[in-house]
């Protein structure tokens, strides 16, 4: 965490840290100038965090000097408030070491299984160093594009909006962390260096009415060596559709389908037809894995938008 800390409640911090036995991640809510949004987010977190507070100590990291944000953060005894006024890296000594840092935007709310999800994901990250971060967000996570809350995907595009990375990765990135637009900064190849991200099919950032027991799930299929083979096999079995009217054709086919695009303008044209995100960053479409963007349309059918090099990157020789 970088910044000069003006308001660090050292007494309360020490008291909370002394209680921590098996920490998983520090939960950091990043705030700026919206005290009402911050309050909504804190209440959402505390609703599910109290039972696991020893594993997920809560912090509010305030950029700037908005007095209402500061007042709101300090009104909660369950968290530690930090105010960032410059880019100096804070060094703090504390008992025990946190495995990861988890960051939340100040206008988010969380799902009931939010902390279970990240605790399970932390174990996965410890095993697979090719995973740079785990996110609770899916950019194409609108109701009309999702189906299964238990499905997770690898992605080459940093999802943002509620994410966790390991302490070694934070130590690597923090000295050069930007003051703004850090989500786009993390999407640059020069910063993620080819490492990938985990995202859910159904966002874990709202109460979707179904609790997933993540601790009982075997997430080993997300390990790099297993996942690329699994994803390639699913993609190979999808039925190809070509030509215009991709939406109409996809709707009339039983089972999963794949639509091939030639370049970024072609992808944008097809994505626009379906209504999913068209944005690219540093040559990667939003949510893509090996150039492939997957979503449901209509659920439960999966639609794969496949790039010109995707088959080669996935090791698919023939279909």
Count of beta carbons in the 10 Å neighbourhood of residue 244: 9
Q: Cα–Cα–Cα angle for 112, 214, 288, nearest 5°?
A: 95
Spatial separation of the C-alpha atoms in residues 206 and 204, rounded to whole Å: 6
- What are the residues facing 165 on neighbouring strands? 101
Spatial separation of the C-alpha atoms in residues 269 and 277, rounded to whole Å: 11
Per-residue tokens: 184? 């786009």
| Angle, in degrees to the nearest 10, between helices 114-127 and 35-49 | 80
Which one of 66, 183, 184, 266 is the catalytic residue?
183
Task: Give the residue carrying structure tokens 């709101």.
Answer: 72
- The Cβ-side half-sphere exposure at 61, using a 13 Å CA radius, reads 20
Residue 156 annotated among the catalytic residues of the structure: no
Per-residue tokens: 186? 């993390």
Spatial separation of the C-alpha atoms in residues 211 and 113, rounded to whole Å: 6
Contact 154, 234 (CB under 8 A): no
Contact 201, 141 (CB under 8 A): yes
Name which of 253, 232, 243 is nearest 273 in CA terms: 243
Q: Which helix (H) or strand (E) holds 242?
A: none
Residues in the chain: 319
Q: Is 162 helix (H, G, I), strand (E, B) or coil?
A: coil
Q: Is the dihedral of CA 159, 160, 162, 163 positive or negative?
A: positive
Which residues are catalytic, by number? 183
């Amino acid at each position: 965490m970088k910044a000069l800390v003006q308001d660090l409640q050292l007494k309360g911090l020490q008291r909370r840290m002394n209680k921590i036995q098996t920490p998983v991640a520090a939960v950091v809510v990043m705030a700026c100038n919206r005290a009402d949004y911050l309050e909504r987010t804190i209440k959402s977190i505390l609703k599910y965090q109290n039972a696991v507070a020893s594993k997920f100590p809560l912090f509010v990291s305030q950029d700037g000097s908005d007095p209402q944000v500061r007042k709101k953060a300090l009104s909660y005894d369950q968290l530690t408030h930090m105010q960032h006024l410059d880019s100096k890296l804070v060094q703090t000594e504390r008992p025990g070491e946190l495995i990861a840092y988890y960051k939340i935007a100040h206008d988010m709310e969380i799902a009931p299984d939010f902390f279970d999800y990240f605790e399970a994901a932390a174990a996965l990250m410890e095993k697979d160093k090719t995973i740079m971060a785990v996110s609770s967000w899916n950019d194409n996570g609108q109701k009309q594009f999702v189906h299964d809350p238990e499905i997770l995907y690898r992605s080459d595009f940093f999802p943002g909006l509620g994410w966790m990375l390991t302490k070694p990765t934070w130590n690597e990135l923090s000295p050069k962390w930007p003051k703004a637009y850090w989500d786009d900064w993390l999407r640059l190849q020069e910063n993620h260096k080819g490492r990938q991200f985990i995202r859910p099919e159904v966002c874990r950032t709202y109460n979707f009415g179904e609790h997933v027991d993540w601790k009982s799930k075997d997430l080993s299929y997300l390990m790099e060596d297993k996942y690329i083979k699994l994803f390639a096999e699913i993609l190979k079995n999808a039925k190809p559709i070509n030509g215009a009217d991709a939406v109409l054709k996809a709707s009339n086919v039983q089972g999963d389908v794949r639509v091939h695009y030639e370049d970024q303008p072609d992808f944008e044209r097809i994505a626009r037809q379906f209504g999913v995100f068209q944005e690219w960053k540093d040559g990667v479409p939003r949510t893509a894995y090996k150039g492939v963007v997957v979503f449901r349309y209509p659920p439960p059918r999966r639609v794969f938008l496949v790039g010109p090099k995707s088959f080669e990157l996935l090791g698919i020789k023939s279909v």
